[in-house]
Structure 1
Amino acid sequence: MNKDIQLFRGEVFYFTDSPLERKDAYYYYPDGILVVSEGKIVESGNYDVIHTRYQGIPVTDYSGKLIMPGFIDSHIHYSQSEIIGMYGCQLLDWLNDYTFPAEEAFSSPEHAEQIARFFIRELLKNGTTTCMAYATVHPISVESLFAVASEYNMCMLTGKVLMNRNAPENILDTTGKGETETRSLIESWHRKGRNRYVITPRFAITSTLDQLESAGRLHAEYPDTYIQTHLSENKDEIASVLSLCPEHSDYLEVYERTGLLTDHTVFGHCIHLSAKECERLASAKAIIAHCPTSNLFLGSGLFNMPQANYYNLQTTLATDVAGGTSFSMLRTMGEAYKVQQLNGYPISSLELLYKCTLGCAKALHLENEIGNFKPGCNADFIVVDYASTSSQQLRKEHLVRIGKWNIENKLFGLQILGDDRAIQATYLMGVQV
């Protein structure tokens, strides 16, 4: 008996391609098995077929539950965990009234570690196994998040916020200081274990053009790092950017001319894009993080998924806590569905799930590590209960009775009715966390 082999039985599901490209873009095994060894996927498939090759090895039995890759959250602010659900602001007031005061506390190593631990536990409780997170201007905020994620062997993408104007003095850096501190953090943490560094100018309102150019130079120096920032979230934000940068024809051009429009760039929100901006985003293979709970909560607008799909934009889903109102990707998918209903586009459960699993992994160039059950990928997966509440159980019984208890209806029910209670177990590299 091979003691390094782990066997997990349940309903196994994962994507192999985009459901927008192929109807058979996934594998689904109603009685399936996932085989893991030393933190990596060995194989998956039908239980009856594969189990015979592993006689004598105990099976962790999740029959009737869904075993699938963990969620990937492409845009979230760990430093805002304390201010989730604060009342009554749109974007720019939100930053001034809640965000900037909360971020001041991250000069304290003790505070940074405390929030990092809460944040990661909350993600794991909700089935999120990878995220791209904003820290604060303080290097210790980045170090704390990377350190705690490393304890869990979690894939963490984060970086120090670059911000040298239009914010309180005690959370501003300078172009030179920001570049020096970012370079030091990249050298210390990027690709150490499962950590990935993200160059993080908050947005054009809080970074001068020379700071944005500095960020672009850093990415050119370290081309396998990522970039994250915000783009066209709010109409007042767009007007403010264009008043600060009057020689630019649109918001995207500010990033484009400073070297920040790349295939490793994740732009949060992108609600109010012109056709020309969509064309340039698509040409660069840049990534959009759609954040529906935040867009609704802050009154920012309705993201146009039909437009994004028309231009073949790489679109992912994200919580954007704490403008976003839930750490749960299930609730995020549910709100994304409602937003697209208002756009006249009843987005499918498969498209929603793809955008926070394999679709996001592909966008981040990580599909050989996470987001699917291809042999050799890291065994980051979750076990999901379709009927964790009485309403879900009643819905299930009805669909079973009428012969429509299929994978699409199972997934859609999770997306509309599910939350952290549906996550029965979360595994990182084959270890239950």
Structure 2
Amino acid sequence: MTQSAFRAKLLTFTGDPAQSPDAAVFHEDGVVIVEDGRVAASGAWSALKDRVSEGASVQDLRDKLIVPGFIDTHIHYPQTDMIASPAPGLLPWLETYTFPTERGFADEAVAADTARFFVDELLASGTTTALVYCTVHKQSADALFTASEAKNLRMVAGKVLMDRHCPEFLRDTPQTGYDDSAELIARWHNNGRQMYALTPRFAPTSTEAQLEACEALAKAHGDIFIQSHVAENLDEVAWVKSLFPRQRSYLDVYDHYSLLRRRAVYGHCIWLDDEDRRRMAETGAVAAHCPTSNLFLGSGLFDFDKAQETQMPVTLATDVGGGTSFSMLQTMNEAHKVARMGGHHLTATRMFWLATAGAAQALDLADKIGTLAPQSEADFVVLDPKATPLLARRTARADSLEELLFAFALLGDDRAIYETYAAGARVHSREQARR
């Protein structure tokens, strides 16, 4: 048995800080003890120092903060190279930049190179788990999983399904989409730390026949993830209404094909009504809030109060490359501002929960990731409060946990990530990356 220990300030969660004032657990002088890739114990150093074995590796990080690894619930790895591309809105942006870029992933070398860079970029931002969209090409999913497996990450990904309203060079069929997805599920789902997500891009790019194929796959594999987009943009909502006139709403299209359930994650969820939100709460389907993307594309403002009223599960996501940063800290920054524009005060403590334990709970992975609980997988991030002169100056004056976390969320980015660990192994070091 190999043991290592990390002494630092610690933050973890036992529940939603919006529901319980004691849900955030903070230790000014804490320790995480790791054995064979899992957390053996975490808590106050004074209580646990005798649990540290003689000869164990002990890192002294007392001037830094350890938090569970960030979880990004909606991101497109093929869009890495087209991030920050100008367009007047969602649909023109897809036509002008997204589809032409994704065409290149027919080349296995392009897919592999992009996947490696993408994974490294996630880790540099402190993200240890993500729900990832690949392209329509089967090899794009293989490349992403291969890059993730090399770092031993807990990753969820899937091949995109599209059989209409897209360029011919990105089009599959109901049968090829079904066959490719089934093959990828067999190869990658629960293979080590890799997990599969059935991935119809969004309702307008799938025929009824393809959605029926998705329904069949989802019913045959009850523990796989499902991911898609819903109610991001008003033009898109109107388009879906014209394509599926018999369905009550955009979300109802997915519900009609039995695609709302636990482990089903829908990006954006801006233009839902209360019946939609209640239906997501009833089924356990998750809303992935993508603030930097929604602001960049002018899609609209997510309604936190309505989500809270209906108990719709919510997580945070970057949505790169519509999103403008891989950093979950930058995503928190924009999420706070979006919430304020709607009259909702989103605390930093809750934003950290949404990006860690809250996401793990929503994704049905709370027994594996998202906290520093004993037997959880040892995925965590070391945050540096002195990463920049301004951050150092502000955190030195922080009089509470909320102020400290708020400074990280509003002033932090990838520079604040000192180290990232996956299954107890260091997979990113800021100092080494700078050399």
Question: TM-score normalised by the shorter chain: which range applies?
Answer: over 0.9
CA displacement at 1:213 relative to structure 2: 1.4
Q: How many Å separate the matches in 1 of 2:369 and 2:172? A: 34
CA displacement at 1:26 relative to structure 2: 2.1
Deviations 1:123-173 (A, max 9, x none): 000000000000000000000000110000001100010000001001000
Tell me if structure 1 keeps the 8 A contact 2:380–2:421. Answer: yes
Alignment of 1:11-90 (within 5 A): 11-54=9-52, 56=54, 57-90=56-89
Q: How many Å separate the matches in 2 of 1:86 and 1:148? A: 25
User: 1:311 is aligned with what amino acid?
Assistant: T
Alignment of 1:9-408 (within 5 A): 9-54=7-52, 56=54, 57-399=56-398, 404=399, 406-408=400-402
Cα distance change of structure 1 residues 210 and 11 upon mapping to structure 2, 3 Å threshold: same
User: 1:120 is aligned with what amino acid?
Assistant: V
What is the number of residues matched between the two proteins? 426
Of all paired residues, the percent bearing the same amino acid is 44
Q: How many Å separate the matches in 2 of 1:58 and 1:48? A: 18
CA displacement at 1:397 relative to structure 2: 3.3
Given candidates 419, 424, 429, the residue that maps to 1:430 is 424
User: 1:38 is aligned with what amino acid?
Assistant: D
Q: How many Å separate the matches in 2 of 1:163 and 1:339? A: 31
Q: Which runs of 5+ in 1 are unaligned?
A: none
Tell me if structure 2 keeps the 8 A contact 1:137–1:173. Answer: yes
Tell me if structure 1 keeps the 8 A contact 2:278–2:311. Answer: no
Tell me if structure 1 keeps the 8 A contact 2:3–2:53. Answer: no
CA displacement at 1:55 relative to structure 2: 5.3
Tell me if structure 2 keeps the 8 A contact 1:213–1:259. Answer: no
Cα distance change of structure 1 residues 102 and 338 upon mapping to structure 2, 3 Å threshold: same
Q: How many Å separate the matches in 1 of 2:95 and 2:360? A: 33
Q: How many Å separate the matches in 2 of 1:155 and 1:26? A: 24
Tell me if structure 2 keeps the 8 A contact 1:217–1:259. Answer: no
CA displacement at 1:208 relative to structure 2: 0.8
Tell me if structure 2 keeps the 8 A contact 1:263–1:284. Answer: yes
CA displacement at 1:235 relative to structure 2: 0.2
Q: How many Å separate the matches in 1 of 2:235 and 2:62? A: 51
User: 2:364 is aligned with what amino acid?
Assistant: H
Q: How many Å separate the matches in 2 of 1:38 and 1:55? A: 14
Q: Could you list the runs of 4 or more consecutive aligned residues of structure 1 that deviate by over 6 angstroms after TM superposition?
A: none
User: 1:426 is aligned with what amino acid?
Assistant: T
Q: How many Å separate the matches in 2 of 1:83 and 1:390? A: 31
CA displacement at 1:379 relative to structure 2: 0.4
User: 1:313 is aligned with what amino acid?
Assistant: M
Indicate the SS of the match to 2:258.
coil
Q: How many Å separate the matches in 1 of 2:52 and 2:420? A: 23
How does the TM-score come out when normalised to structure 1? Answer: 0.97
CA displacement at 1:54 relative to structure 2: 2.4
Once the two structures are overlaid, the 10-residue window that deviates more, 6-15 or 86-95, is 86-95
Given candidates 419, 427, 433, the residue that maps to 2:413 is 419
Q: How many Å separate the matches in 2 of 1:188 and 1:45? A: 38
Q: How many Å separate the matches in 1 of 2:250 and 2:48? A: 53
CA displacement at 1:53 relative to structure 2: 3.1
Once the two structures are overlaid, the 10-residue window that deviates more, 47-56 or 378-387, is 47-56
Cα distance change of structure 1 residues 53 and 186 upon mapping to structure 2, 3 Å threshold: closer
Tell me if structure 2 keeps the 8 A contact 1:14–1:372. Answer: yes
Tell me if structure 1 keeps the 8 A contact 2:79–2:321. Answer: yes
Indicate the SS of the match to 1:205.
helix
Deviations 1:346-389 (A, max 9, x none): 11111111111001001111111100011111000110011211
User: 1:115 is aligned with what amino acid?
Assistant: T
Q: How many Å separate the matches in 1 of 2:43 and 2:297? A: 43
CA displacement at 1:89 relative to structure 2: 2.7
User: 1:320 is aligned with what amino acid?
Assistant: D
Tell me if structure 1 keeps the 8 A contact 2:251–2:276. Answer: yes
Deviations 1:400-422 (A, max 9, x none): xxxx1x21111000000000000
Q: How many Å separate the matches in 2 of 1:327 and 1:424? A: 16
Once the two structures are overlaid, the 10-residue window that deviates more, 271-280 or 330-339, is 271-280
Q: How many Å separate the matches in 2 of 1:129 and 1:324? A: 18
User: 1:416 is aligned with what amino acid?
Assistant: L
Indicate the SS of the match to 1:369.
coil
In structure 2, the residue matched to 1:7 is 5
CA displacement at 1:237 relative to structure 2: 0.2
Tell me if structure 1 keeps the 8 A contact 2:75–2:131. Answer: yes
Q: How many Å separate the matches in 1 of 2:382 and 2:65? A: 6
CA displacement at 1:49 relative to structure 2: 2.0
Q: How many Å separate the matches in 1 of 2:162 and 2:156? A: 19
Q: How many Å separate the matches in 2 of 1:54 and 1:294? A: 44
Once the two structures are overlaid, the 10-residue window that deviates more, 406-415 or 56-65, is 56-65
How does the TM-score come out when normalised to structure 2? Answer: 0.97
Indicate the SS of the match to 1:236.
helix
CA displacement at 1:20 relative to structure 2: 1.8
Q: How many Å separate the matches in 2 of 1:315 and 1:24? A: 20
Q: How many Å separate the matches in 2 of 1:55 and 1:278? A: 50
CA displacement at 1:209 relative to structure 2: 1.4
Tell me if structure 2 keeps the 8 A contact 1:295–1:301. Answer: yes
In structure 2, the residue matched to 1:410 is 404
User: 1:295 is aligned with what amino acid?
Assistant: N
